[in-house]
Chain A
Amino acid sequence: DSGVTQTPKHLITATGQRVTLRCSPRSGDLSVYWYQQSLDQGLQFLIQYYNGEERAKGNILERFSAQQFPDLHSELNLSSLELGDSALYFCASNQRGGGNEQFFGPGTRLTVL
């Protein structure tokens, strides 16, 4: 158990819908990362937050957005969902945001029908 929690574990929805994935980092960790893992793309970095502020952005679609709240939990919002958005979404955290060791949550498996 990494100490990172993610909800929900599974999410099944329809194309065109909007969903919110939630992540709570390990106690004391200020930095949160979101990754998307699909079969053909591997682990793709989406976005990083550090202490409430966006720090780095990857290939995150405009339909996706994220934020980190004052209590350091983070939410990833996915809208106008498409079939291709079906994937595992992982949240990871670490203390300072610059280290190589990241602690991953159990993931949210999103299925878009």
Chain B
Amino acid sequence: GQSLEQPSEVTAVEGAIVQINCTYQTSGFYGLSWYQQHDGGAPTFLSYNALDGLEETGRFSSFLSRSDSYGYLLLQELQMKDSASYFCAVRGSTLGRLYFGRGTQLTVWP
């Protein structure tokens, strides 16, 4: 089966840096993705890692270590609008289905 573990909640202040970790167990691995979801809204794609290392997209970066079955999302220069839930997701096969973690609720305080 597939399982993904991520913290349920993280809090930080504006301007700070926060890291959201994700560990996974899957029978196949075709990439780790991160999605952001504001309360009641649609999940939106943030980033994707297929190979080990760091991918940077503006204030957001994502890291993957396949040997450790571990990844993280790094959010820098936090803003109030970053308050949302963040989900890691694994694609376990060549098919498109994603397995999602339960999400990390990030609260950014002024």
Majority secondary structure, B binding face: loop
Measured between beta carbons, the chain B residues less than 8 angstroms from A101 are 33, 45, 48
By beta carbon, the residue of chain A nearest B103 is: A42
Cβ-defined partner of B43 (8 Å) among A31, A48, A104: A104
Measured between beta carbons, the chain A residues less than 8 angstroms from B100 are 35, 42-45
Query: In the complex the two chains form, is A43's CB within 8 Å of B87's CB?
Result: yes
Query: In the complex the two chains form, is B42's CB within 8 Å of A90's CB?
Result: yes
The number of residues on chain A lying at the interface, defined by a beta carbon within 8 Å of a beta carbon of chain B, is 31
B58 contacts chain A at the CB level, 8 A cutoff: no
B60 contacts chain A at the CB level, 8 A cutoff: no
> 28 A-B pairs, CB-CB below 8 angstroms?
A2-B42, A2-B44, A42-B87, A42-B102, A42-B103, A43-B43, A43-B89, A43-B103, A45-B97, A55-B95, A56-B93, A56-B95, A92-B43, A94-B96, A97-B96, A98-B96, A99-B96, A100-B30, A100-B31, A100-B45, A100-B91, A101-B45, A101-B48, A102-B45, A103-B45, A105-B42, A107-B41, A109-B40
**Residue ranges of A at the interface with B (Cβ–Cβ < 8 Å):** 2, 4, 31, 33, 35, 42-45, 48, 50, 55-56, 58, 88, 90, 92, 94, 96-107, 109
12 extra interface residue pairs, beta carbon distance < 8 Å, beyond A33-B98, A101-B33, A104-B43: A42-B87, A42-B100, A42-B101, A43-B87, A43-B89, A48-B95, A48-B97, A90-B43, A98-B95, A104-B42, A106-B41, A109-B40
